[in-house]
Structure formats: C-alpha cells, structure tokens
Amino acid sequence: MLELTREIQRLKQERNAVILAHNYQLEEVQKVADYVGDSFYLSKLAANSQHDVIVFCGVRFMAETAKIVSPTKIVLLPEKDAGCPLAEMITGQGLRILKSQHPGVPVVCYINSSAEVKAESDICCTSANAVKIVASLPDRKVIFVPDENLGDYVAKQVSDKELILWKGHCVTHAKVQPKDVNQVRELYPTAKILIHPECNPAVAALADFVGSTSEIIRYAQLSEESTFVIGTEMGVVCTLKETMPNKQFFLLHPGLVCPNMKKTRLESVYRALQDQQYEIHVESEYALRAQLTLQRMLEVV
C-alpha cells in the first residue's frame, strides 16, 4: 500500500492533478486525497482549481458537478459505476412535467442530481446550505427536488415558504428508523445524537442536532461533550475518530454504509491517474444551464 501511495503521489505531480474525496470515502482513499469534505466544499474547490486534472473520489453526480464548474479541466471518476440511487430517482423529463404543473415556480435542486436535472433547475443546493438557498428566494412557493426528507427539513426551517417536494430519498439514510434512535438513547444516555437531514423526518425529530456532514463534524469539534452517536454514512465516523481521538463516536445504524461510495479503492485512484480513467463528459445541451444553476448557488453562499 505504501508503494501504491508513492506512485499516486508521483502521478499526481506528473499530471498536475488534484485528488478530491468525499467524507463518505474509504479511509485509505481519504488519506491520499488533497482535500476531503462534503459536496459543497468540494464543488467550491473544483470551481477554483488551478490543476489540469481533477480526480473526484465520490459518485458520478459529484464528478459531473466538478466538470460543469470546471469545463476546461479533465475530470476523472475512479470507479465508473459509482452512482447515486437518489440522483437516479428523478429525470429531466420528470422535472419538466412537475414544472408544467406549477408554472412560474422556481426549482431548487439538491446537488445529488444529474446534469440534466440541474439544467432544468433555477438554483442548486447542498445539505449544508439548502435552508439558506431556499430562504434567499423571493417566491413563496418553491419546487424542491429530489430528496423529500431534506425538503421536509428545509420546509420546517423556512416556514414562510410552501415547498413542493419530489418523492425521492437516500436509500442509505432511509434505513434508520425512530426505534434505532430510541435504542441508542438507552445504550448511550449521555451521548449527543447527530443526524443528517436525509434521514426520515421522524428520525430527525429525535436528534440533538441535525446537519450536513460538515456541520456534524463542526458540531463535534466545538462541543464540550465527549460521546456522540452519528446518524450518517460511516465514513464520517472514521473522520471523526481520526481527528478527535479524545472523544467517542458510535454509528447510529450498521446499515449506514453507502456501497457506491465504497467502490473507490486506492487501486482505483492509481488507475485513474495512470490510465486517465474514467473521464467525465457532460452533454453540451445541459452543461451551460447546469453551470448557471451551480453558479447561482455559489453566489448566494
């Protein structure tokens, strides 16, 4: 593994590449990355990158987003089959039909969506800034796609808006049920329970804190408490344990493992750099409109 890491570093310099890894990636991948973070943080880095090549260790919509905001860069997705079931729950055609039913209503799309869906939307958001994005719109009605759980969370924070939600969800976060939260309360009565807003609203209602991956990490860093139960993908627990060894972190549910995020291995990163695979291309008919949608988000936050 040490030799592979050295080769990755050599190729990175040779290709003038930067490696971006999502918080949900395997620890071995996070360790060779130049930057590790949530979708919002990584999308900002991609937009401002001075490198020729961006190796995006995540899932397809993330690499697509990097290509959209950095169209002149070579963007590589180390595992071509690393997709996102949530992003696949809505199509451009489906969104166009919904828009026709609510003419004139602006569309906020979660970053967990395809380039075509972004092109059909007015502004993008991440879980870290969704409330701020929706609140920034002057309209009372807003279409929010595709995650209905995140949309429900946003609607509760922005009570002056009426959100029209799409029936989509993260299959990993959806595994958590209220009984799981009640069980860990009994098991770790002094622990703070931190939950991602992609979880079911009934689950989020039982949390001590609800936030994106970056917000969960920040909460744990700033808290004087020492024990936490984490209600999001297990990759965040790995990050927390490594950065805060003096605190205890437990995963809320054993099913909080995203199989698509775990497809990328150290060997995948090496092959991506060595063979320049798998390069991401975004259809020109979507690229510019999707770029505007993402740019509007970056201007707000």
**Binding site residues for [4Fe-4S] cluster, as ranges?**
84, 170, 258
**125 CB-near residues (< 8 Å, 6+ apart):** 108, 109, 110, 111, 133, 134, 297
120: three-class secondary structure by DSSP: coil
**213-239 burial code (b ≥16 CB/10 A, e <16):** bbbbbebbeebeeeebbbbbbbbbbbb
Binding residues: 22, 39, 84, 110-112, 127, 170, 196-198, 213, 258
Contact status, residue 154 vs residue 135, Cβ threshold 8 Å: no
Nearest to 108 by CA among 84, 128, 130, 75: 130
Compute the distance between CA of residue 6 and CA of residue 295 in angstroms, rounded to an integer: 36
Contacts of 288 (CB under 8 A, 6+ apart): none
Annotated binding site for iminosuccinate: 22, 39, 110-112, 127, 196-198, 213
**How many Å apart are CA 284 and CA 211, to the nearest integer?**
34
Structure tokens at 127: 């879980």
